[in-house]
Amino acid sequence: MTISTQTRDPHTVIDPAILYFGTPVVLVTSVNPDGSSNIMPMSSAFWLGHTGVLGIGARSQTAANLQRNLGCVLNLPSVDLVSDVDRLALTTGRQDVPAAKAERGYRYEPDKFARAGLTPLPSETVRAERIAECPVNLEAHVVDVHPVDDGILLFELQVSRVHVHDAIRLPGTDHRIDPDRWRPLIMSFQHFYGLGQRVHPSRLASIDEELYR
């Protein structure tokens, strides 16, 4: 599309502190040094094929756990789990709460499963536990770590096993999710949202998903 030089630019230049325009919430479960489980709620995540990328604060307990590379699980909550997820807000698995987090109101929580009222399940390919209530559990291993500015680490993960609730599967298929049944919890600028109804047919949907395998 060509915009005439006479067209008034409808944009304003701003400098937001965060750029969280809306991504799915992920509850990352990992293994603490004492063998207990940690759960970190986050939304700086995306997937390409069976590779996942997470952006995590370098001083978090989850970052330390992932660098020991015992595997993790990316548990994706649906909108009906929002209260459970919110109970994990402002908690950390580090006993020595980093000063920046303490200033924001974070506190140490040793048992996050109990705190959120969630149920642990054993995994099949990693040591980290899954969350029974989350409709999607993605078991994964760390394959690379990339430091970026401002104390953030990017973790590249390889998904090794996918578990889903039958309620979100596409009827008549073995390996597909029904996007009309799957309602992920979305974080946008620190607020919780859910998906609405499908707004328009997609040409990409005409491609058989198996061609991406």
The confidence score (pLDDT) of residue 4 equals 61
DSSP assignment of 115-126: HHT--EE--SSS
Indicate yes or no: pTM above 0.85. yes
Euclidean distance between CA atoms 39 and 62, whole angstroms: 8
Tokens of 207: 């491609």
So what's the pLDDT on residue 3?
59
Distance CA 30, CA 140 (A): 10
Per-chain mean pLDDT for the chain: 92
pLDDT 10s digit of each residue in the chain, 213 long?
565 668 999 999 999 998 989 999 999 999 999 999 999 999 999 999 999 999 999 999 999 999 997 899 999 999 999 999 999 999 999 888 888 888 888 999 899 999 999 999 999 999 999 999 999 999 999 999 999 977 899 999 999 999 999 999 999 999 999 999 999 999 999 999 999 888 888 877 888 888 877
CA atoms within 13 Å, Cβ hemisphere of 6: 0
